[in-house]
Amino acid sequence: MQLDHTAAIVTGGASGLGAATAQALAEQGATVYAVDLAASIEKAPETKGVTYVEADVTDPEQVRTAVATAADGGVPLRTVVNCAGVGPSMRILGKKGVHDLALYAKVVQINLIGSFNVLALASEAIAKTEADDDGQRGVVVNTASIAAYDGQVGQAAYSSSKGGIVGLTLPAARDLAQYGIRVCTIAPGIVETPMLATVSEEFRTSLAAGVPFPRRLARPEEYAQLVLSIVAHDYLNGETIRMDGALRMAPR
């Protein structure tokens, strides 16, 4: 599928994986709408071809408005990339007691339900566009994590939410096939994002040492590169792709 003269939505587009993806899509000729919270947009860099749209991915009306903004921009909406997410850590039973249920629900609400909300509402708009010569209308790329498979101590909520995204991938692809919309998921390993920048260099080095090859942390640009590959490869559908340097996470 071609990106030139099409529109794209990237959630969590103001930083990290989302920002790198928004830039990469714009460089390929797409008109990109980076959806994020106001506080994140305020800190976002100006990027040619990227328009920032304030919206909470868990709010259906805000997402409808953001989708309408992208769909009414004069070119067909073809690409959606869900990068918005959170990753707090808490044990099911720890020194401070039982895992906070509200926190568990919040993580699932943002990571899983938020991704589904954007996927569903954006697919509604994409389905109304004219298909290309091969019957294609668009592609949705969701973001899981290797924690969906190798969840560590303290990652019960995060792993649950990302495991849900993996489980969503195939039925979503099957549901949307009749509209010419593909659905794939990327499950990154440890990526150098702003969240990771808060930890010490020593800890970052120890994380990188656990990756078989290449023995380093992944870069947001590599995630963006994989998104471009999925968009371009018309036969990729219903698949979750691990991007982790063959890393399999230990319990802790």
Q: How distant is the alpha carbon of residue 35 from its chain centre?
A: 11
CA-to-CA distance for 38 and 45, rounded, in angstroms?
13
Q: For 37-163, where are the E strands, in sequence order? A: 50-54, 77-82, 93-94, 97-98, 138-143
DSSP string for 202-226: HHHHHHHHT-SSS-S-B-HHHHHHH
Asked whether 17 and 85 are in contact (CB, 8 A), the reply is: no
CA-to-CA distance for 238 and 170, rounded, in angstroms?
4
Asked whether 5 and 75 are in contact (CB, 8 A), the reply is: yes
Asked whether 69 and 33 are in contact (CB, 8 A), the reply is: yes
List C-alpha distances in Å: 9 to 60, 68, 210, 216, 229. Answer: 15, 11, 34, 29, 17
Q: Looking up tokens 């010490």, which residue turns up?
A: 200
Question: Is 179 tagged catalytic?
Answer: no
Catalytic residue, from 33, 104, 158, 223: name it. Answer: 158
CB atoms inside a 10 Å sphere around CB 131:
14
- Enzyme catalytic residues: 158
